[in-house]
Each structure stands twice: as C-alpha cells, then as structure tokens.
C-alpha cells in the first residue's frame, strides 16, 4: 500500500520545491561536465595535508574525548578564535555571542524556527540567495522583495516595505551577494541601517564570502552600524572546506537564548570532532596566507571568465563586476530564456544556474549565475566558449 500522498505530509513541506542548485549538483558530479552552477571552492586549494596533520594532533591532544557528546554552543576555543577575528575589526563580539552551526545553512533554518510563523513577513533581496528562500519558505514566510543594483538595496523600496508591513527579519548578503556578486556601498549600508533602526526588526547579515575580497576596500559590517538589531552569519565552507559543515551565528543575548533551544532540538550540537580538527588546523597554520592565496586565485579566475565572456557572449551581455566572492551575474537580451538555454547547455556538458531560481517576484528570465571559483582557467575558457555558442544559436 502506497501511503506517500500529499495529505500525509505537513503543508509547509508540500509547498517548498527542491533546491534547483542541489538538483543540478547531482548531475555535475560527472567529471565530463564543466560546472559553473554550484558555489564551489576550488578543490586544488583545499589544505588537505594540513587538515590531515591537524586531525592527528587533535586526537593526540584530546584522545577519546573527541568522540564524545559536547555542548550545544560549540567548542569554546573555536568560538574564541572567531571572536578574536571580529575584535580585530573593532567589533565588540565575544565567545558567548557565538553559536556554532552545521554550516550557515543551518543558521537560516534555526532563524526560521525561532522567528517565523505562517504568513510572517521577511524582507529579502531580489534576486536573493536560493538557500535562504528555501529555508524561510519551509516556515511559510511571506517574502517582501527589495531590488538591488550595483550599490546595494533600493532604499525607497526598503522604506516602503518596512513602512507597510511588520517585518520580523531583513535578510541581506552585503558582501559579494549571492547570486549577483555585488557589494553594498558604504553609503547604502548606512542608509539601510538607518531605515532598519526605525523598526524593531532584525537584520541578518549573511557573510560567507566576506573574507574572499580580491579588490576594492572593506566596507562597514552591519554589526557596527546596528549592533542591537544585527544577526551575523559566517562560514568556514568557502574559506577552509565545505565538508566540515561548520558555520556560526552572532546574535544579541535574547535571540541567542532562543537559538540555543532551537539547536538543542535540532541536533544537540555540531560535530565536536570536526570542530576540534578545525581549531587545531587554525592554530597550526597561517590562515591569513591561505586566505590571500584563495583571493589571489579567485581574482585571476574571475578575470579569465570575464575575458571569455567578452569573446564568446553577445556584445549586449551585461555582467556584474564583483570585488570578491564566487559569482558573476549575467543579463542577456530580454528575448532569451536562460531556463531554455540550460536544457541545451547541459546536453553540451556545461552547467549554470538560470536566474529565475533566485526570484520570488519580478522575475528576469534572461539572467544567469556563473561560478568562477570551482573550475580551472582552462575549463572556464572551454565552458564559456560552449555556453556562448549555445546563446548565439538561441
């Protein structure tokens, strides 16, 4: 007897589609496919030998304790290490302000659990990060979108959204935004903070790419502009290794109490083994040199992709100009549907993400997100050439 009908499942899960990117990644595991789809770090830059050595040293120092249950908040030394980095940025953040999570994606899920009832309003960038859309959709949020451009959020739209609705959360990726790669200007950040300060909403600064800057100047953290209303998310996935599944949250004390309860109910705690290995790696190695290497390489890969787009894509193509992060955002002629292009390009062994996946309204079907960090320069050149041929034959 088949009982797997929709009536057996919660309404919230029936209304959430699978992640387009996660589904694509099943296909792109094939070695002959050139993938610009996922937000993948470059595998050849993973510190494999250093992590092996850190694993051995962690077991030598801690023995069987590494395999035991641990506390919900996370490894104290790791949280102190994260706090110290923020303090060097003149942010007043301490270890007790930090919760270790299973990647920053779990942080989004915990925020949904803590804040969102069915129909609650969440202000979100348009286009916005697909993982956040999916996480908040699960809790049946009502999305209020705000357009972004090269400078950041449209302030007049933000004012309208905040004035007309009682939004609990404002979700932002101000550094090398996913999917567009843009960064909020200093003036835009201050304008956003000014508007949010007029409300009792919390602003989420999701910052998985902030340390991957290869040009331009650092901008203010919302935690410095809006300390009592900012929830800050970070991740080691893009800087060390995604498989560790370790991220973190920084939140005001009242919010942190609720987040800890939600995490206790979700998984008790993040892997104490992974945390110990990561902390040992951070102690034993020059992390700044590793980050500099990543930034240097990703900056080169971005230039390779930009130059290939100039050669092979139509001259009318508009491309963002990120100062860091992992993505370029392309806007093609309005007649072009990138979803239709994808069906052809994947047959040609090249994958990307059609832009409409990142919209909840005002969908621009002629857009696409391209990841430049996960492929070698040679594969970037070849893949963009193939993709350009697909576009010009559309």
- The tokens of 299 are what? 């900056």
pLDDT at position 8: 82
Q: Is the dihedral of CA 187, 189, 190, 196 positive or negative?
A: positive
**Cα 27 versus chain centre, distance:** 21
Give residue 118's pLDDT.
94
pLDDT at residue 9, as a whole number: 85
Long-range pairs of 286-292 with CB within 8 A, sequence gap ≥ 24:
290/47, 290/239, 290/240, 291/211, 291/212, 291/239
Which tens digits make up the pLDDT trace of 92-135?
Answer: 999 999 999 999 999 999 999 999 999 999 999 999 999 999 99
| pLDDT tens per residue, range 287-324 | 999 999 999 999 999 999 999 999 999 999 999 999 99
Same CATH fold, 50-284 and 6-47+289-392?
Answer: no
Query: Where along the chain do its domains lie?
Result: 6-47+289-392, 50-284
Per the CB < 8 A criterion, the answer to whether 162 and 123 are in contact is yes
| Residue 17 confidence class, pLDDT cut points 50, 70, 90 | confident
Q: Predicted confidence band at 373 (pLDDT cuts at 50, 70, 90)? A: very high
CATH code, 50-284: 3.40.640.10
Polymer length in residues for the chain: 394
Examine the pLDDT at 82 and tell me if it is beyond 80: yes
Predicted model pTM: 0.94
Grade residue 22 by pLDDT with cuts at 50, 70 and 90: low
Strands 121-126 and 169-172: parallel
- Paired residues of 152 in beta bridges: 149
Query: Which pLDDT does position 1 carry in this prediction?
Result: 45
Fold of 6-47+289-392: 3.90.1150
Q: For residue 248, what are its two tokens?
A: 């973190």
């Amino acid at each position: 007897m088949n009982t797997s009908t929709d009536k057996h499942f919660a309404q919230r899960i029936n209304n959430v589609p699978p992640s387009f990117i996660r589904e694509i990644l099943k296909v792109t595991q094939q070695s002959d496919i050139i993938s610009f789809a996922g937000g993948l770090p470059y595998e050849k830059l993973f510190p494999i030998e250093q992590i092996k050595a850190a694993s051995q040293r962690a077991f030598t120092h801690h023995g069987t304790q590494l395999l035991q249950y641990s506390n919900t908040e996370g490894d104290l030394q790791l949280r102190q290490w994260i706090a110290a980095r923020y303090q060097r940025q003149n942010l007043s953040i301490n270890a007790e302000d930090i919760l270790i999570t299973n990647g920053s994606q779990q942080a989004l899920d915990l925020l949904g659990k803590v804040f969102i009832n069915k129909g609650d309003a969440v202000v979100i960038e348009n286009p916005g990060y697909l993982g956040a859309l999916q996480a908040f959709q699960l809790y049946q949020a009502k999305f209020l979108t705000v357009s972004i451009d090269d400078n950041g959020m449209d302030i007049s739209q933000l004012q309208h959204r905040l004035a007309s609705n009682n939004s609990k959360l404002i979700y932002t990726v101000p550094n090398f935004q996913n999917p567009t790669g843009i960064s909020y200007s200093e003036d835009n950040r201050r304008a956003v903070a000014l508007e949010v300060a007029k409300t009792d909403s919390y602003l989420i600064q999701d910052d998985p790419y902030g340390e991957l800057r290869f040009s331009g100047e650092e901008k203010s953290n919302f935690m410095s502009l809006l300390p009592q209303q900012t929830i800050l998310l970070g991740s080691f996935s893009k800087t060390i290794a995604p498989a560790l599944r370790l991220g973190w949250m920084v939140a005001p004390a009242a919010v942190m109490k609720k987040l800890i309860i939600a995490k206790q109910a979700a998984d008790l705690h993040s892997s104490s083994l992974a945390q110990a290995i990561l902390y040992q790696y951070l102690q034993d190695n020059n992390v700044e040199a590793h980050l500099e290497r990543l930034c240097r390489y990703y900056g080169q890969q971005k230039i390779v992709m930009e130059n290939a787009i100039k050669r092979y894509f139509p001259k009318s193509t508009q491309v963002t100009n990120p100062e860091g992060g992992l993505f370029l955002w392309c806007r093609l002629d309005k007649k072009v549907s990138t979803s239709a292009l994808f069906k052809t390009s994947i047959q040609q062994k090249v994958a990307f993400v059609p832009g409409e996946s990142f919209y909840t309204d005002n969908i621009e079907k002629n857009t696409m997100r391209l990841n430049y960090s996960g492929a070698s320069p040679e594969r970037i050149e070849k893949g963009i050439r193939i993709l350009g041929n697909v576009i010009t034959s559309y």
